[in-house]
Amino acid sequence: MRERKVIRVQDVMTNDFAMVDGLITIKAAIEVYKARQVTALLVNKRHEDDEYGILLLSDIAKKVLAQDRAPERINVYEVMTKPVIGVDPQMDVRYCARLFDNFGLAMAPVLKSGEVVGVVGYNQIVLDGLLTD
């Protein structure tokens, strides 16, 4: 039996995110999404004892668009998920997939020493982590 190579989160994570302030409007957040062409917006900590947040397009679709709310009148902090569950860059992608399943996640920041170094989602886990040569 062939031994499986361990694929770590750091091997599949992406830097495809932007950091924003929770006080910006959803309209401004959408503009950042479009301009930067990112897959996630991470919401910066407000102070040392705060935690990161995350804003996905699915959050905007469910909490703004589907509820017919005006994006120029809603702030990111009203829609984001916070605190966000982060993953370690050394985590095996199999355990990352289990974590996502256990907590209903689709994407998470990769945190090293409390700082965001990337993001990882099912796309990266499956496309880059499942089939290896």
Q: Which residues contact 112 (CB under 8 A, 6 or more apart)?
A: 88, 89
pTM: predicted TM-score of the whole model, two decimal places:
0.85
State the residue for tokens 């469910």: 62
Query: Average pLDDT, stretch 75-96?
Result: 96
Q: Which residues contact 17 (CB under 8 A, 6 or more apart)?
A: 38, 39, 40, 41, 42, 109, 116, 118, 119
DSSP 102: H
Is the per-residue pLDDT at 97 higher than 80? Answer: yes
Domain ranges of the chain: 9-129
Do residues 47 and 53 touch, judged by C-beta distance below 8 A? no
Is the per-residue pLDDT at 73 higher than 90? Answer: yes
Task: Tell me the per-residue pLDDT of 25-59, one tens digit each, with 9 for 90 and over.
Answer: 999 999 999 999 998 999 999 999 999 999 999 99
Q: Class of 9-129 per CATH? A: alpha beta
Is the per-residue pLDDT at 1 higher than 70? Answer: no
- Quick one: tokens of 22? 């929770």
